Amino acid sequence: MSTPGRRAAQRRTRPLGTPVRQPEWKLALHSLTRATPPRIALAMFTALIVAFTALLSLPAATTDGVRTDLTDALFTAVSAICVTGLVTVETGVHWSTFGLTVIMIAIKLGGLGLMTVASLLSLSVMHRLGLAQRVITAQETRAERLAEVGGVLRIILITSTLFEAITFVALTPYMVITEHGIGHSMFLGLFYAISAFNNAGFVPEAAGTAQYVADPFFTIPIGLAVFAGSLGFPVILVVVRKLRTPRKWSVHAKLTLTTTALLFLLGFVGFLTLEWSNPATFGDRPFATKLLGAGFAAVMPRSGGFATIDVGQMTAESRLLTDLLMFIGGGSGSTAGGIRVTTFALLMLAIWAEVRGNPDVEVFGRRIPQETIRQAIGVLVMSATTIFLATFLMLRMTPYTLDQTVFEVLSAFGTVGLSTGITTSLPTEAKWVLITCMYVGRLGPMTLGAALAVRTRVRMIQLPYERPIVG
């Protein structure tokens, strides 16, 4: 029988409803191009970075009217959208009012999240959200249930606007008093408010924030805004709704607040002790200034990025403590980065349960699922791998020490923005390494891995157990 006749016979004999087997390359291409929440977030983040890089490349964005180098414009755009604060050019010197406004808008969009902004616009225009949009927005905002997405969006809009407005009102009169001029004071107050609550750490003044080291009228509003932004919108939602009944708060909210308080106490005591007699930081300062500076320094590694002391002049022990706090980061669903405080807390609880011989991980009268512990381990391993690879590449590309390099990589990955002062002098290839770290750190290693996964496998057959030796 001829080939066409054989194929016709096969079509006649195939039972109805039998699926036609597609070639492997078609299946892989379909899976790769399928729109999933992580891939949509990845695509939108990339598109936004391209748009803001183009805006910052315009001559009008600089004070001298000269186009910014593409790598520096891209670095600044990624740093703003990923709410990091690392810069390769001096923010208060290089960028014009237009450039600073572009950076401020990028920080606001990056802090809220692209799908959050799109969903808020949809709610305001159409007064509803579709199922697909709820799924994508829940992925970004870390809402626990799809029914909560609308409430989370409203809380995000209200709290972010409220904290930014309070910070603006607190800072603007002070800027006027310190002879910045009314118009410039309002701009500085708005910029600092948005940069602080969104944990961006961009500073629009050429003198930086070191001038405010002993000034509670600046450091306290900024510190409170950074602290609130690092908690996470899911936590704020629970606290606002159940303010009078803390016992009914979710395990996530309790775990985030408890761990955040302990980490702040660790940072405060650590910085106060380690920098007490350091003449380059707190050594010759009054007692009240030391307390204020230590408290401010303890909040900033959450992902704030502002610094009232020279990080490069801190003791090696203080920088190591800062490395730890930057790696942990802030709360899930917040404007902060790092592996997140809940991930760190779950890993510590898992170790404690193993030491005590408990088969389950328990906290606040609840049992944590094994899948959640596995996810925390996955985040830890992927984050550590990213930091190791980035540090290795940076050491090959730059003449700086391991201490300086690790600090810079952790600051980029944790979207913190603190620096030992080497960022502006990095070669182009090293800047690209930090750009990648900021990108991965903002999206999250697990989200990025899920976005790039070609296919999710469903195992119909499970293999038998065998326990290897551990330790």
DSSP string covering 247-314: GGS-HHHHHHHHHHHHHHHHHHHHHHHHTTT-TTTTTTS-HHHHHHHHHHHHHGGGTT---SS-GGGS
In this prediction, residue 132 carries a pLDDT of: 44
Distances (CA, A) of 268 to 151, 297, 324, 326: 34, 7, 14, 14
Which amino acid, residue 447?
Answer: T
> Looking up tokens 């920080």, which residue turns up?
107
In this prediction, residue 451 carries a pLDDT of: 52
Sign for the CA dihedral angle at 302, 308, 312, 316 comes to negative
Q: Where does 329-369 have alpha helices with state H? A: 341-356
CA 121/CA 136 separation, integer angstroms:
15
Domain ranges of the chain: 35-452
> Using an 8 Å Cβ cutoff, are 350 and 358 in contact?
no
How many Å is the Cα radius of gyration of the chain? 25
Neighbouring-strand partners of residue 95:
62
> Using an 8 Å Cβ cutoff, are 448 and 42 in contact?
yes
Closest by alpha carbon to 284, among 213, 354, 201?
Answer: 213
In this prediction, residue 38 carries a pLDDT of: 59
> Using an 8 Å Cβ cutoff, are 60 and 96 in contact?
yes
Per-block mean pLDDT, blocks of 10 residues, the chain (471 long): 51 50 46 54 81 95 93 95 92 94 92 55 43 47 50 72 92 87 92 92 90 91 92 81 84 92 95 93 91 94 89 93 94 82 92 90 89 87 93 95 95 92 92 93 66 55 73 64
> Using an 8 Å Cβ cutoff, are 253 and 238 in contact?
yes
6-23 burial, b at 16+ Cβ within 10 Å, e below that, comes to eeeeeeeeeeeeeeeeee
In this prediction, residue 131 carries a pLDDT of: 43
In the three-class reduction of DSSP (H, G, I as helix; E, B as strand; rest coil), residue 366 is classed as strand
Pull the structure tokens for residue 401.
């020490």
In the three-class reduction of DSSP (H, G, I as helix; E, B as strand; rest coil), residue 361 is classed as strand
DSSP result, 266-284: HHHHHHHHHTTT-TTTTTT
> Using an 8 Å Cβ cutoff, are 269 and 295 in contact?
no
Phi-psi group of 249: left, alpha or beta (phi > 0 → left; psi -120 to 50 → alpha; rest → beta) = beta
Q: Where does 178-211 have alpha helices with state H? A: 182-197
> Using an 8 Å Cβ cutoff, are 273 and 297 in contact?
no
CA 249/CA 244 separation, integer angstroms:
10
In the three-class reduction of DSSP (H, G, I as helix; E, B as strand; rest coil), residue 334 is classed as coil
CA 226/CA 220 separation, integer angstroms:
10
Neighbouring-strand partners of residue 367:
362
Neighbouring-strand partners of residue 368:
361
Give burial (CB, 10 Å; 0-12/13-18/19+) of 100.
Answer: buried
Pull the structure tokens for residue 398.
């730059």
Please name the helix (run of DSSP H) or strand (run of DSSP E) that holds residue 211, with its range, or none: none
Distances (CA, A) of 160 to 13, 193, 346, 403: 64, 10, 28, 35
In the three-class reduction of DSSP (H, G, I as helix; E, B as strand; rest coil), residue 40 is classed as helix
Please name the helix (run of DSSP H) or strand (run of DSSP E) that holds residue 230, with its range, or none: helix 216-231
The C-alpha angle with vertex 45 and arms to 42 and 47, in degrees rounded to 5, equals 105
Neighbouring-strand partners of residue 363:
366
Closest by alpha carbon to 412, among 43, 54, 45, 85?
Answer: 85
- The HSE-up count of residue 376 (CA atoms within 13 Å, CB side) is 21
DSSP result, 372-385: HHHHHHHHHHHHHH
Closest by alpha carbon to 437, among 283, 326, 276, 277?
Answer: 326
Overall pTM > 0.75: yes
